Chain A
């Protein structure tokens, strides 16, 4: 089955700096890669996603890049703010009838210091 590795497990930055979180996946059948932000005691909230036919996607301060050949994808947050502090999870899902079976990474605890 799919295996998703996420690094780093913790990330501490100063407000205004950039943050980068990296994930690798093992199953070449995976074609959907969402990123979720989870605050303490709350549900995972989708912040950005990318599909395998796209190499990069950007939404304001957040961007995701995908390298299908190397089987890795990354989350980039620019101009970080204290409210960006949370746990971030990457995930991967295959397509077809297996779509929606998300395999998650271990999570990254992001702390943005004012």
Chain B
């Protein structure tokens, strides 16, 4: 039973560029959330997808957008990258409303 998988694991981008990160939820899970974890801090909620719709959103600008596909996998897109976007981006999955939340290994993004 595969857990939450994310790709790529590491990437380096230049300021102003755009990036797409991908996530496949744990088998049987239908809800995907994305978090940003800056160095030395706790993860911060970006948004959550359920039934291919953004259901909740944290305090992040519109440069952060996402998508969920019919197979429940998800993408996180960040436009106009800033140096401050450098962080570990974590995907978490769960079965809707009330089940354990599992995290993937994350994607390390460095913006130079």
In contact, B55 and A44 (Cβ under 8 angstroms): no
Contact with B along A34-45 (1 / 0, CB 8 A): 101000001111
Determine the chain A residues whose CB is within 8 A of the CB of B112 once the complex forms: none
Residues of B contacting A43 with CB < 8 Å? 90, 103-106
Task: Kindly report which residue of chain A lies nearest to residue B94, judged by CB atoms.
Answer: A100
Inter-chain CA distance A12–B41, complex, in Å, is 19
Q: How many residues of B contact A (CB 8 A)?
A: 26
Q: Which of B35, B55, B90, B98 has the most CB of A within 10 A?
A: B98
Number of chain A interface residues as a range: 20 to 34
Identify the stretch in B14-22, B42-50, B60-68, B76-84 within 8 Å (CB) of chain A at 4 or more residues. Answer: B42-50
Question: Which residues of A in the span 39-86 have a Cβ within 8 Å of any Cβ on B?
Answer: 42-46, 49
Task: Kindly state whether residue A101 has any CB partner on chain B within 8 Å.
Answer: yes
Which residues of A approach B to under 8 Å, CB–CB?
32, 34, 36, 42-46, 49, 89, 91, 93, 95-107
Report which B residues bind A (CB closer than 8 A): 31, 33, 35, 40-45, 48, 55-56, 58, 90, 92, 94, 96-98, 100-106
Q: List 19 A-B contacts (CB under 8 A).
A: A43-B90, A43-B106, A46-B102, A46-B103, A89-B42, A97-B97, A99-B97, A100-B33, A100-B92, A100-B94, A100-B101, A101-B33, A102-B33, A102-B35, A102-B45, A102-B92, A105-B42, A107-B40, A107-B42
